[in-house]
Structure 1
Amino acid sequence: MDSATPAKSRGFARDFVRRSVPRPWRLAAEASTVLIAAVVAFPLYWMVLSAFKPAGEIESAEPRPWTSAPTLESFRRVFGQQEFGRYFLNSLVVAGTVVAASALIAFLAATAVTRFRFRFRTTLLIMFLIAQTVPVEALTIPLFFQMRDLGLLNTLSALILPHIAFSLPFAIWMLRGFVKAVPEALEEAAYIDGASRTRFLWQILFPLVLPGLVATSVFSFISAWNDFLFAKSFIISDTSQSTLPMALLVFFKPDEPDWGGVMAASTVMTIPVLIFFVLVQRRLVSGLGGAVKD
């Protein structure tokens, strides 16, 4: 198949919509889209703006959507924290490990439940669905006792393992559609050409489902990077094992919260997520498109 075929198909679809939808309705739809995007983006804009505002403007009784005296003082306070670098590194370790481990396990599990027939296969898939419906808050206390019994409290493993467990059901269900979309005739042809099952798995099947892996990895990364509940529950006394969301607590003083520091720290936390999105943007779009198509 020509690699330009998907782009041609999307262009044809856009031209068809433009011809079939009346211009007033199309303009109304575009205006609504811009309005919704502005509403969604406004909190992000306000966060970044507040990070650059001086303290007097942040605490003003008449907030303004701009600043006449931008300053980096809030960022200086954030980077001046003694443990900020360690928090940042811990977050990278947790998020990176969760993404890599959940992607690998989900890929192998999705291949197994799609390509093989075994007892309790349907039951296992239903259990994946049920696991997605359980609120995380309801499992925090049982997980705390489990981590305590395993001796993992105050370690990064106490954050990594639960996030892997919560990421797997969604990742397996999503990747199952990608694996199922690969024709079995392709697998048979590879075996006829002398390829082993392992070679087919990693050299043929893995590249084909890579867009789906990227899509699931984005959700795993965001969940692990922004986690506050597990970090607060499982890291009790050893602050050297805390992650970046815990750095926000430094600026929440009982009597006078440092909102400039909170917004600056939140802005710094957002940057790695945006960079990750930019790096995987193309594969993310194709991955989500493939999931919808399936």
Structure 2
Amino acid sequence: MKFKRIEQGGALRMAALDPSGIWRDVTAFLPDLSAQALARGDLANAGDWDIAGQPEITGEHRLLPCVGNVGKFMCIGLNYSDHAAEAGMAIPQHPILFLKANSAIAGGEDDLVIPRGASRVDWEVELGVVIGTAAKYVDEAQALDHVAGYCVINDVSERDFQLNLTGQWTKGKSCDGFGPIGPWFVTKDEVGDPQDIALWADVNGQRMQTGRTDTMIFSVAQIIAHLSQLMTLHPGDVIATGTPPGVGMGMTPQLYLKPGDVVEVGIDGLGAQRQLVRAE
């Protein structure tokens, strides 16, 4: 099933896509799709809901991040071999982990604001994984059992902050709005094999990134298994699994976002985001 969280008339509403392609208000069944809702198992009986009988979503509304009250926002770096090559970095032996501040989380259509002092703001389309049940010391064969669903993530990066301010990559990854999540949350049963999905990114209508998840260095299952050896993964935790080649930093000459640009990132079956870039 596909869900989205929206704000309409100052209130949070939950929408689900019915079989005929109409978004329906399912707030009566699911007040919010949050970490707490996933922990309670609120989606367990979603297949029994009378979605087609609920009111159609009409009128203007704001698209919210597709999961509320996210716990940990974890990101995997250099997880596509061709992206590592364009970045001039060696293929890692283990998944590279960095954390993105939760204050970076934004909706899929929110403006992308260039922060003060930034000069090298870059785009990165990534498959997002949403954890549904707690995972600790799981092996690869069990890892996907702990997934609730998937979404699109734009792992926006400020390369100067990331590489030249000393320390971890988090500095260039955590600016406000640098983690749009959505537009939709799609349950894992509808996605199927997470290693067989196409993803893309456009800037001002020009295709910049094209990739498939089957070229990941570490699969979704391997990532979850690895992380679960280090920390407990909780319902509502989100993992961005890396980006394919085509980021601005890897181009010759390098290309970065500027006010007025429009970034669109999407994944087959998971929808697409659109961000208008503007100055602080």
**Of the two, which has the highest radius of gyration?**
1
The structure showing larger relative contact order (alpha-carbon pairs under 8 Å, at least 6 residues apart) is: 1
> Structure 2-normalised TM-score?
0.23
| Larger fraction in helix | 1
